[in-house]
């Protein structure tokens, strides 16, 4: 009896399983919504980039890295956009970008997952969980949501810290179209 087939089988069984690597494709969106004096408004954060390593069958090796330039924030209101870029909110002169990184992924059943990570904004890093639906295919889609407590990051300080004017919780949504990384 030859041990060679057994040795080959054991070699492959012991080999680590790597997650597939993806890069963001055009058409991806990152938006947020909150209220100002009871009126809902939403905004876009264009120019963000996403790198994802993900395998639904092996979440252990999955990781996510999202870099978000803040200078392009757009709410369709020039005055509000200028305020968001200023020192009381994003302070883009000092903190031009935000970043979300996640290395712990959990299955929530079906194609639904949670990515537990850290959001760095205005020089502060705090835990944030992104829940998302994974739509597999030639161009997989990650559709996700997170809630960010803006005051944890010093966003909207001073007079803007009043949560009756602007709630502390901001809803963040994303739709990331992905392609295999090169």
Q: What is the pLDDT along the chain (182 residues), one digit of tens a residue?
A: 554 544 444 334 444 456 899 999 999 999 999 999 999 999 999 999 999 999 999 999 999 999 999 999 999 999 999 999 999 999 999 999 999 999 999 999 999 999 999 999 999 999 999 999 999 999 999 999 999 999 999 999 888 999 999 999 999 999 999 999 98
Alpha carbons 67 and 51: distance in angstroms, whole number: 9
pLDDT on residue 4: 53
User: Model-level pTM?
Assistant: 0.89
Q: What is the CATH number of domain 20-180?
A: 2.40.128.110
Backbone angles phi, psi at 14, to 5 degrees: -90, -10
Find out whether 115 and 129 touch, Cβ atoms under 8 Å.
Answer: yes
Sort strands 63-69 and 49-54 into parallel, antiparallel or unpaired: antiparallel
pLDDT on residue 2: 54
Structural domain boundaries of the chain? 20-180
Q: What is the CA radius of gyration of the chain?
A: 20
């Amino acid at each position: 009896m030859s041990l060679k087939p057994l040795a080959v089988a054991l070699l492959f069984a012991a080999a680590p399983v790597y997650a597939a690597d993806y890069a963001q494709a055009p058409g991806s969106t990152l938006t947020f919504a909150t209220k100002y004096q009871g009126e809902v408004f939403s905004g876009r954060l264009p120019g963000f980039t996403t790198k994802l390593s993900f395998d639904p069958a092996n979440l252990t090796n999955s990781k996510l890295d999202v870099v978000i330039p803040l200078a392009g924030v757009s709410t369709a209101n020039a005055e509000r956009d200028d305020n968001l870029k200023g020192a009381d909110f994003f302070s883009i002169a000092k903190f031009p970008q935000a970043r979300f990184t996640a290395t712990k992924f959990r299955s929530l059943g079906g194609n639904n997952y949670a990515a537990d990570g850290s959001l760095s904004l205005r020089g502060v890093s705090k835990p944030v969980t992104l829940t998302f639906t994974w739509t597999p295919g030639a161009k997989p889609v990650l559709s996700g949501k997170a809630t960010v407590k803006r005051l944890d990051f010093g966003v909207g300080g001073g007079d803007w810290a009043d949560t009756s004017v602007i709630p502390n919780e901001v809803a963040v949504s994303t739709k990331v179209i992905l392609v295999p990384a090169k």
